Amino acid sequence: MPASTITVYLYVPNIIGYVRVLMNIFAFAICFSDRKLFSLLYFISFVCDALDGWFARKFNQVSTFGAVLDMVTDRISTACLLVILSQVYRPGFVFMSLLALDIASHWLQMYSTFLVGKASHKDVKDSTSWLFRAYYRHRMFMGYCCVACEVLYITLFLLANNQTESLTEVLVGFTKQSLLNSIFLGFLLFGWGIKQSVNFIQMKTAADLCVLYDINKKQKD
């Protein structure tokens, strides 16, 4: 293996990515035996998602491998948590639908990005959707939506007492406990709602790019 290849694998942000993978493996292994530790490890791994990007820019260690590792780790982590929630709550179809939307939108976005020759899947300046552009242009806004989404899922996991919970009853019961709970849940749901809207827009936009690519290719032929 060339020394340059080994160097990329040993980039600081990529090492953080490996640690995230190991952390998530351990976290999901103990998710039902120690929910609090699982939630803590899962959230730390999520926070490290922001750190690896910061280190990549700081040390000029941005790489395609790192970007793919980062996204794959994010998607698998969220997918595993959504699968668990689908087994804990009823209707579980809600969480499986969210899982399908999350994977489909990001996979199509990554594929269409490379198809049209863009350097990053976050390059959406030519999008007609102001929400889509705002999401990827403003890191704080995107960070809030992502944090709200993940914290909401973690909160739901911590609130579940058994494997036959009604999602509606748990949410209503949580808000009735205090006004602070209602505000907290509203804050999370707002960010979560924006994130799901962006996922849908992203999926539709990426699908359109794939179709336009085929049309342009046929016209050239």
Question: Hey, what are 96's tokens?
Answer: 């499986």
Its pTM stands at: 0.91
The CATH number of whichever domain residue 49 belongs to comes to: 1.20.120
* Least confident range of 35-39, 107-111, 194-198: 107-111
Query: Which residues are identified as catalytic?
Result: 74
The SS3 call for residue 161 is coil
Cβ neighbours of residue 202 closer than 8 Å, sequence gap 6 or more: 105, 106, 108, 109, 132
DSSP H or E run through 89: strand 89-90
Q: What would the pLDDT profile of 176-213 be if each residue is shown by its tens digit? A: 999 999 999 999 999 999 999 999 999 999 999 899 98
From residue 50, how far is each of 32, 108, 124 by CA, in Å?
27, 22, 20
Q: What would the pLDDT profile of 61-104 be if each residue is shown by its tens digit? A: 988 899 889 989 999 999 999 999 999 999 999 999 999 999 99
Note down the domain range covering 214. 3-220
Q: Average pLDDT of the chain?
A: 91
When divided into structural domains, the chain yields a total of 1
Cβ-based neighbour number of residue 23 at 10 Å: 17
